[in-house]
Chains A and B, each alone.
Chain A
Amino acid sequence: MIQTSDMSASVGFCSRWFISTCDRWLVAVDSKQDREPFVFDCSTAEKKPKNPSTDGDEGGAEETRSDRILAFAVSPCGNLVALTDDSKRLILFRCEASSWRCISVRFVVRRCTSLAFSQAEDQLLAADKSGDVYSFSVLNPDQDGELKMGHLSMVLAVTLSLDDRFIITSDRDEKIRVSCLRSPYNIQSFCLGHKQFISALLVPPGHSQRLVSGSGDGTLRLWEFESGRHLQSVDLRDLMDPEKTDNDNEKEKRLTVGRINISPDAQLIAVVCDKVSLVQFFSLDQDQLSPHSRLTPPHQPLDVTFDPEGRLWVLMDSDHSPLQIYTHRCGSWQCDTDSPDLTRVSAAFRIHWDKLDASVRTASRFDHLYVVNYDNVSEYMKKKQQRLDQQSQKRNLDQKRRPDAKKMKTPTANS
């Protein structure tokens, strides 16, 4: 199952179809056969029917809305694709051997951050910016969404366990929540340990009880999600760029896990971090994530995906060669420049890639997620201390004065 979220451009595979989203276009290219690519432009999709009762308060927001694709998801069997855009559409596609069909266009309440199909492919979960998770029926493609659960803060990633028993959601408030899919108000556990927002989740196939999470605190963590037990934490800063950690600037030290992907044979986990020109690979044993290998592409990788053969497709921030295929041979990752698949896909992809502004594609989607706390205690404590000091001074004065007063009083009484 492939999931991507809130990027200017992202890539994925849906059986043999290479899928990419690029601003408002979804481009699907058959990587194996010369065929007409499927291109879907979100701005041509149906507009949200105007509701007179809500028109008033949404007037301002209407202006800024673009049709940029925020997230897409591919179903586990690879015949369904869903995407959501900045105009709050949720569009479902069916992908058959040779053709694509748009099944439905529905509307969500808030802009979505992440989508996930259930393993049974009967429902599609959509997590939104206000922290709610809605379930949309796949079998009944015109039915409205049903509110499943909610976080207080923005949900950044949603995924399901391999047996469809649990919804796993992660939010901006450092929490991963595991809830039962059938009764989402029933919380199985919380996985607590991250110190920043959690941007990526992965339940690795073959390890059905494990969860890998990536966060804005620069760590990758391994959990046993049913009990919420923390098994391991890997600090990617140590692996990525040792010199960078010496920098004092807090902003420079930030490292955000952007994407966690797993190879089809479930042996390798690829991790891409925001603004780092490196793809780090891990292998997963039962309770241990161990660094496996690394790949240094010529440009900063924006997104990566494995194809069904286990080759890694890397989308890079480059004008000339945005796409590359890498294969793992003899312990290192080698670039496959003259693969016919790549030429086929690149030809169709470049048309839309060139329309994308260079500044747009590197714009970080994570910077705004770092929480800026404000301190409202120290000011109060200072004032309180002043008040207490004043009071004790006054009290001391009173005490000094009182014995005097008594002395004063006694003589007057005597006289």
Chain B
Amino acid sequence: MTSFMPQKRYYRQRAHSNPMAHHEFNYPVCPEEMDWSELYPDFFTGSSSKNGTSQVEFADIGCGYGGLLVELSTLFPDKLILGMEIRVKVSDYVQDRIKSLRESEPGSYQNIACIRSNAMKYLPNFFSKGQVCMLLVACLMMIMMMMVVVFLFLTPDLKEQHKWRIISPTLLAEYAYTLRVGYVHTFICTTEIHSSWWNGAKYFYLNTHWYFLYMHLYRLCFLPTLVSMFPGRVGTRRRI
């Protein structure tokens, strides 16, 4: 039986999940023990020339319904891209979506996969130090292009910041750990609110991260290619 494109209406779920709760997750004890061949069968088994040597270099944390993931798949066909989503229904939707995309267009979309996981807890279990060269985090994006890593804050709803938000000062260290060293990391804020957030006393910690430099919105014009690269997220374009 051919699988049909999953219908989003069966997979709707509210956009919150408690990252501190002890959900049941499958995760490897350490990155070496992760079996990627199940997620990317074409890259790890079979006659493919890239056999065995590939590793996941792009990660989309909080990939939602996987729009960006699918978009990136065709933009970077030789990079392995992993989406991580904590919500049961949503991650299942992305998995079904990738499955049906692969079946409808054999040979393509082999480089994307989605797992249900809590990236705030288990990121180091999946990725070794410096393995990832692009990390997209739910409401912020880190894009690696020409040795520049960019963060884009996409959600301006800066509610009270808690430890369990996906970008917390102390968690940035873990993101930096998985990111490849040697690139200039840049911070782009999309609104004024963000720049005050960035400079605010509460986030002094961000300033102390030597690898995250602050860059204001108007500088964005220097990087128009970066923006046009992401037509997938409506929200992205609207805000920028």
Contacts A149-B173, A185-B176 given; indicate if A374 touches B24 (C-beta within 8 A): yes
Q: Is the CB of A152 within 8 A of B19?
A: yes
Within 8 A of A (CB), among B5-55: 10, 19-24, 29-31
Contacts A185-B205, A192-B29, A377-B24 given; indicate if A152 touches B120 (C-beta within 8 A): yes
- The answer, among A152, A174, A380, A387, for a CB contact under 8 Å with B163, is A152
Contacts A192-B125, A374-B24 given; indicate if A380 touches B88 (C-beta within 8 A): yes
**Could you tell me the dominant secondary structure of chain A's interface residues?**
loop
Q: Is the CB of B23 within 8 A of A376?
A: yes
Contacts A185-B176, A371-B22 given; indicate if A192 touches B124 (C-beta within 8 A): yes
Tell me if B79 counts as interface (CB < 8 A to partner A). no
**Chain A residues, Cβ within 8 Å of B57:** none
Contacts A187-B176, A190-B124, A193-B30 given; indicate if A150 touches B24 (C-beta within 8 A): no
**Chain B residues, Cβ within 8 Å of A384:** 10, 92
**Could you tell me the dominant secondary structure of chain B's interface residues?**
helix
- The answer, among B10, B129, B209, for a CB contact under 8 Å with A185, is B209
| A375 smallest CB distance to B (angstroms) | 5
Q: How large is the interface on B (under 10, 10 to 19, 20 to 34, 35 or more residues)?
A: 35 or more
| B30 smallest CB distance to A (angstroms) | 4
- The answer, among B29, B89, B163, for a CB contact under 8 Å with A150, is B163
How far is it, in angstroms, between the C-alpha of A175 and the C-alpha of B123 when the chains are bound? Answer: 11
Q: Is the CB of B208 within 8 A of A374?
A: no
Q: Is the CB of B163 within 8 A of A131?
A: yes
Tell me if B168 counts as interface (CB < 8 A to partner A). yes
Q: How large is the interface on A (under 10, 10 to 19, 20 to 34, 35 or more residues)?
A: 35 or more
Tell me if B71 counts as interface (CB < 8 A to partner A). no
**Chain B residues, Cβ within 8 Å of A149:** 170, 173
Within 8 A of A (CB), among B147-175: 163-164, 168-174
- The answer, among A150, A175, A373, for a CB contact under 8 Å with B22, is A373
How far is it, in angstroms, between the C-alpha of A131 and the C-alpha of B173 when the chains are bound? Answer: 14
Contacts A150-B163, A380-B88 given; indicate if A175 touches B171 (C-beta within 8 A): no
| B172 smallest CB distance to A (angstroms) | 7
Residue from B21, B88, B170, B172 whose CB has the most chain A CB atoms within 10 Å: B170
Q: Is the CB of A132 within 8 A of B170?
A: yes
Tell me if A6 counts as interface (CB < 8 A to partner B). no
How far is it, in angstroms, between the C-alpha of A190 and the C-alpha of B10 when the chains are bound? Answer: 39
**Chain B residues, Cβ within 8 Å of A99:** none
Contacts A185-B172, A187-B177, A384-B92 given; indicate if A152 touches B205 (C-beta within 8 A): no
**Chain B residues, Cβ within 8 Å of A130:** 163
How far is it, in angstroms, between the C-alpha of A151 and the C-alpha of B169 when the chains are bound? Answer: 11
Tell me if B222 counts as interface (CB < 8 A to partner A). no
**Chain A residues, Cβ within 8 Å of B168:** 150
| B158 smallest CB distance to A (angstroms) | 19
Tell me if A147 counts as interface (CB < 8 A to partner B). yes
Q: Is the CB of B88 within 8 A of A186?
A: no
Tell me if A317 counts as interface (CB < 8 A to partner B). no
List 19 additional contacts besides A374-B21, A374-B23; criterion CB under 8 Å: A149-B173, A150-B168, A150-B170, A150-B171, A184-B173, A185-B205, A185-B208, A186-B176, A187-B129, A192-B29, A192-B31, A192-B124, A193-B29, A193-B30, A228-B129, A372-B22, A373-B24, A377-B24, A384-B10
Q: Which residues of A approach B to under 8 Å, CB–CB?
A: 130-132, 147, 149-153, 173-175, 179, 183-187, 189-190, 192-193, 195, 228, 230, 371-377, 380, 384, 387, 392
Q: Which residues of B approach A to under 8 Å, CB–CB?
A: 1, 10, 19-24, 29-31, 88-89, 92, 116, 120-121, 124-125, 129, 163-164, 168-174, 176-177, 205, 208-210
